[in-house]
Structure 1
């Protein structure tokens, strides 16, 4: 409404963005806990692969559709249509009827937080992967989002890189619907290291074709690791604690992102953007495989 009525206000936009972040922090763990209530446990991998396919498909179609809307009806109307899509999503979720056997507990928020933290610490493979994810985010997100456009030097090329990575995500999500992998979590962690390839490609300044290939392969790695993590949590964590543990996982995994985005600029100014990208790729590779030092991660089997 602010943009359509030409009443843009940076402070108010910031407040609304913060509120959106708060709501998203509720939504993501809740949805992760919702999937096991909708499908049998032996169908969780397929369900997560299907959800991932749709999500990744929208990452490819969405920007193109947005461009068409901006060109035809204007940016304000395009954002208004985007807002309506959230209302439609809420209506669809509101139609879900979930019957659960989990008994409600009301001991208080702080008591529930302590209970969730105790359970999180108890499951070694969960916190091993969470720490690994935090280190990966620290190494990758800042370089990718801040230095990536600068190192490519062409907005068209950077747009192609993002689109190709999305295609890799989509292709692997579709394949995960069919693949049966017994040690799913370990496989996901092993292949998550593919995300280091575009960082190396950016740092070494390879030809655009090789950068696009690296981005596609990284998308494949991100997709399989994401589905593996979602499915492993849903299969092996008590349903009454699933969303709670997911919220702790996301808090610890994402807390490193703003740190990485803040420090990457000064580091690039001192050491050079290419060198920082290469070092970040090495750190990402180490972080991705660090969780495999845990025998619980290596030995966890899918249902």
Structure 2
């Protein structure tokens, strides 16, 4: 008599791969992201309502970006040496203090331009130490075979906060003023710091001798030896400058002149967030083989909002443009994180991530600082057309690099490439060509 088939194995929970650290870090990122999404809107309109100019908005944005650029590499080196959750908690507390002070100044009506510049710089310094540590923590928190799913889910949480935070920030800025939005951002940083205090980190498996300069030199060698990596970072150094000028300076100005103000720009940013999240759902299941080639197709969408703003498109058209841009950011971002996770040694990840972000943000302070003068010289519409054209040209130019076109996804069981070159059949000499 034939024995009955064995019972099917019990189904594992849907998020069984997501460990404690991943859940805590994602929750903390969502909370801080809610405040961060509304804070730039509040800051821009605080300046404009106080009689500031387009150039003033650009200067304050540049003041936040400049210390980020200057301190990122130091933050990456520390994150590869010290417990990453300690660095994130300290950075969150520092950012909370800076935003709280900014909120008090705006609420009391005593904010002067030099104070806005100084406190914005403080927030940028906090981010410079937080960001490299955060990237390394996500890398540590999941097994390699779940990396694509983890990065997609993490970005959906972050981007979902972008939707709610931007819409709420725009509405609150219009209803009760920008100072309260900045106060909420400070509170979100405090809650995120409290959550991250409970993260657990493993001790470093590789003891490194030498000092900080040696760490930085080794991180640079890891970065510079991968041509696909620094080519895309060069692309983003100019691209991020253009996108920052559009989102932080030109967008609020066009919204104020043609769309009704902060509420409309908040809704546009929320549409951007919907594009981020909805595409994150796609990326959970879609695992393209040519990770950088597919990722760069998303970069072509980055300039679409500039086109819509250049022609003073109505809010529904602008919302579609922002949605498409958000979708492109997620397509690129998930594939980029997979490439870094696959190709960069874990013990050097934070330093390489810091060089990545340093290069990508290096021209952003200049871009936002020059946004006002560029609008004066070219006209607001002309400056927006220039940003859109630059984005399109850069997206096409980076595809001329063979490693960008050829770098392929590997299965976790495959041996890691030492050079960071393409995983599909490519002559070893080509990897560093």
1:147 corresponds to which residue? 250
Range with greater deviation from structure 2 (43-52 or 78-87): 78-87
Query: What secondary structure sits across from 1:194 in the alignment?
Result: coil
Which position in structure 1 is the counterpart of 2:126?
23
> In the aligned structure 2, how far is the partner of 1:41 from the partner of 1:274?
46
**Partner of 2:76 in structure 1?**
none
Q: What residue is the counterpart of 1:215 in the other structure?
A: 322
Is 1:118 aligned with 2:225? no
What corresponds to 2:52 in structure 1?
none
Q: 1:264 to 1:18 in 2, by over 3 A?
A: closer
Post-superposition CA distance 1:54-112 (Å, at most 9, x none) = 11111122245557878999977765554343233223223222335631324111121
2:350 to 239, 243, 256: 243
Gaps of at least 5 residues in structure 1 are none
Alpha carbons 2:310, 2:380 under 8 Å: kept: yes
Bigger RCO (CA 8 Å, 6+ sep) = 1
8 Å contact from structure 2 (residues 169, 266) kept in 1: no
1:200 aligns with 2:200: no
Residue-by-residue CA offset, 1:34-56 (whole Å, 9 max, x unaligned): 22211111111111111111111
| Higher radius of gyration, 1 or 2 | 2
Unaligned stretches of 5+ in structure 2?
Answer: 1-99, 411-433
Is 1:103 aligned to residue 206 of structure 2? yes
Q: Which has the higher helix share?
A: 1
Post-superposition CA distance 1:189-214 (Å, at most 9, x none): 12211111121222234444332212
Q: Which residue of 1 aligns with 2:295?
A: 188
Match of 1:271 among 378, 393, 398: 378
- Aligned residues of 2:298 and 2:328 also touching (Cα < 8 A): yes
Root-mean-square deviation (Å): 2.7
CA gap of 1:118–1:177, structure 2 versus 1, over 3 A, is same
Counting only pairs closer than 5 Å after superposition, residues 1-303 of structure 1 correspond to structure 2 as: 2=101, 3=104, 10=112, 14-65=117-168, 79-99=182-202, 102-152=205-255, 153-154=258-259, 155=261, 156-303=263-410
Comparing 184-193 with 150-159, greater Cα deviation is found at 150-159
How does the TM-score come out when normalised to structure 2? 0.63
